[in-house]
Structure 1
Amino acid sequence: MGAAALAGITLGAMPQAAQAMPALAKAVNVPCDPDALVTAITAANGNGAGTLLLSPDCVYNYTAATDSGDALPIITGDITLVGGSGTSIRRDPTATDAFRVLQVASGATLHVQRISILGGSTAGPGGGILNAGTVVLEQTIMAGNHAGNGGAIANSEGANATISHSVLSENSTASVGGGAIVNFGTLTVSASVVTGNSAPVNGGGLNTQSIGVSHVIRSTVTDNTSGSLGGGVSNLGTTTLDRVVVMRNKGSAGGGIATASTDVSLQRSVVRANIPDNCSPKNTIPGCVDQPPVKRRDPVRS
């Protein structure tokens, strides 16, 4: 796995850090109207913080970018978005322009609960979310997002992302790195599912860059595809997997996990049934072995 393959990728300059934010903010109900959500986020940013209660059974649908190539205003404060059953924020499938869904500035914080983030598209990083600050996702679905790298999420250098009880599915990249997630910062994924994502190069599911640290806990990484190395996970930095199942992923080598460093740790994890092998380079990841192929038996003749 060529460490130089991703060396040229840089995430562009992010908005400046937000000003000091109040500790408490009154919750605001946001009606099922995409313009109302734009207005609510703008106001919360202006106040420094805000909790926005999105409508259940509602699709906040965007046909064009609102702010700098994003469906929604860039998050510059401490913002919490809370949805309910059937709440989603979506780039309209018929939109002619490419734009991501959300972007978080350096120094800002975004909490997302019970919301689906769908269909973001950008030639840059992070089709669903581009994070330069802090992102916390709980009970979130990120699906059908597409980017240059980091189909669902691009976590920038110095940024922090925590994902729990969530699903990242059917996201993709056009270039190098992380069909679901590319991580240059600090990432924790727990009790979540990363499945059916794809990238043409290195890391169909997760791509950890050389300065990145990724922790995956009690999760599954299944059925992801890379056109190159690391169908499930590609590592240039530090990646730990604790009670993780890595299965049925596919790449040119390291169908389950591919690494360019020795900083991959498996704890109580299962890596099996990946194509063409489980880990690459062979015997460099303690605890990851390739099982011999099952021998085909001739039918019993009477």
Structure 2
Amino acid sequence: MRIVASAGGAVALALAVVPMTPVQAASLNPDNGNDRIACSTSALTNAIDGALAADGGTIELARDCRYVLTSALPTISEPVTLRGGKGTSIERAVAAGTPQFRIFEVGGSAGFLTLDDLTVKNGDSAGDGGAVLVGTGRTLLLKSATLTRNRAAGSGGAVANDGGRVILRDSKVEKNSAGVDGGGIHTSGGVVSLDSSAVSQNRATADGGGVASADGYVTATHSSVDKNEADGGGGGIDNDGTADLQSTGVTGNRAGGDGGGIRNTGTLVVGRSSVNKNTAANGGGIHNTGLLWIGRSVVKENVADADGGGLWNDNEATVESSDITGNETRDAGSQGGGVYNENGAPGGNTVLTDSTVTKNQASDGGGIFRASGSVTLNRTRVKENVPNNCSPSGTVAGCVG
């Protein structure tokens, strides 16, 4: 089975049928910013209550202000925009005795929260979503916003999306942690869209150091997923739904299990992107047991302890017009510096077309190791790998040495 991609390398996702409706609400500050609310938590809470009572609104926050909370804010059940400015933050107090709480919950019948030009930090949830929990059918929109140093005992160190929509534009999710999955963001059946945004330096005790998707839809365009860690699989991204990465870098992530950059058990498209310098037990760059298409991309300088420095595949992997280069496996007896093709259930089928597999290194199969299954080379060069290009000898047609 092959993933059919468009000319741009993308697949049509459920985003097409889940349009984002803009917030239609009057500003609570009619002079457009000159009447900002006071720099106090009571002023913030009162303004949110007022916006909810008015069926939504835009609240202009004070600049250079830290709104320090000792309890959670009201549930956002209407369209509400919080607009900050230079130096504006909303954060949970860290003083001894401060109760544990997430900062926002987006719920109710019409919850739509926009965080514009501000920082949200230090949320601490006993469940999911350290900073924000997004309910089914509800929306969180981040515009030039930063979510940092939040933590959840459950999943979603910064954001837990329970069947809603999370949209990031020119925003950052960094230095958050989760006790389960999704150190930065966890989505369950919902939609996450990254546009010119960064998910970095987050940590998950289980899977998905940066982003974890359980049957959700994840898109990333002109974005980065960097330096995240997972004790389990998917150092950068753990995808069990549908993910589409375009012009995006997945760099410097680490997994204690499989898939240093990405672990894919669903459907994954990597177009015009890079998966570089990630580390894992198996599949330093990408560990695939689902459906994978890589086009016009680079998988470079990734490291696996055991097998598959660049790509570990045990299902359907299609690589077109891409480079798999400079990857390695480190353990004695490790295999497949560039590509490792497994034959478990359902079995690996790797097809490389108009691509290169070069300068990779392993104990055996420096370029490609075919444990079983099938590896097909179409106009693809496999060369300058150490100690050999393909192994076992003669199992990959068209590969010499």
Inter-partner Cα distance in structure 2 for 1:186 and 1:292 = 32
**207 and 44 in structure 1: CA distance in 2 versus 1, 3 angstrom threshold:** same
2:222 maps to which of 218, 222, 244: 218
Larger Rg, first or second structure (1 or 2): 2
Q: 1:268 aligns with which of 267, 272, 281?
A: 272
Aligned pairs (5 A) from 1:254-265 = 254-261=259-266, 263-265=267-269
**Under a length normalisation based on structure 1, what TM-score does the superposition of the two structures give?**
0.84
For residues 150-229 of structure 1, the aligned pairs below 5 Å read 150-157=156-163, 159-175=164-180, 177-184=181-188, 185-210=190-215, 212-229=216-233
- For the 8 Å contact 2:133–2:161, the answer to whether it is kept is yes
Alpha-carbon distance in structure 1 between the residues aligned to 2:170 and 2:327: 34
Unpaired stretches in structure 2, ≥5 consecutive residues: 1-22, 30-35, 289-311, 329-359, 362-401
Query: Retained in 1: the 8 A contact 2:85–2:117?
Result: yes
Between 1:282-291 and 1:201-210, the stretch displaced more is 282-291
**Partner residue, 1:48:** 55
Could you say what secondary structure the match of 1:43 adopts? Answer: helix
Counterpart in the other structure of 1:25:
26
Moved over 2 A (4+): 26-29, 283-295
User: Alignment partner for residue 142 of structure 1, among 147, 154, 168?
Assistant: 147
Unpaired runs of at least 5, structure 1: 1-21, 66-70, 296-302
* Deviation for aligned residue 1:154: 0.7
Larger RCO (CA under 8 A, 6+ residues apart):
1
Aligned length, in residue pairs: 264
Mapped to 2, the partners of 1:114 and 1:268 lie a distance apart of: 29
Which residue of structure 1 lines up, in the alignment, with residue 286 of structure 2?
279
Q: d(CA) in 1 for partners of 2:68 and 2:25?
A: 29
Q: Say if 2:177 and 2:203, in contact at 8 Å, map to a contact too.
A: yes
- Code of the residue aligned with 2:65 in structure 1: it is C
State the partner residue of 2:81.
80
The Cα shift of 1:26 comes to: 2.9
Question: CA separation of 1:95/1:244 partners in 2, compared to 1, >3 Å: closer, same or farther?
Answer: farther
Query: C-alpha displacement at 1:151, in angstroms?
Result: 0.5
User: Residue by residue, what CA displacement relative to the aligned partner does 1:24-82 show, whole Å, maximum 9, x if unpaired?
Assistant: 4133331100111001101110110111000010000012x2xxxxx211001110100
CA distance 1:247–1:267, change in 2 (3 Å): same
Partner amino acid, structure 2, of 1:274: N
Residue equivalent to 2:124: 121
Do the aligned partners of 1:145 and 1:172 also contact (CA within 8 Å) in 2?
yes
SS of match in other structure, 2:279: coil
Rounded to whole Å, the distance in 2 between the matches of 1:286 and 1:54 is 49
Q: Quick one: distance in 2 between partners of 1:220 and 1:285?
A: 23
Report the Cα distance in structure 1 between the residues aligned to 2:317 and 2:131, rounded to whole angstroms.
Answer: 31
Give identity over the alignment, percent: 32
- In the TM superposition, residue 95 of structure 1 has moved relative to its aligned partner by 5.0
User: Could you tell me whether the CA contact under 8 Å between 1:242 and 1:267 is conserved in 2?
Assistant: yes
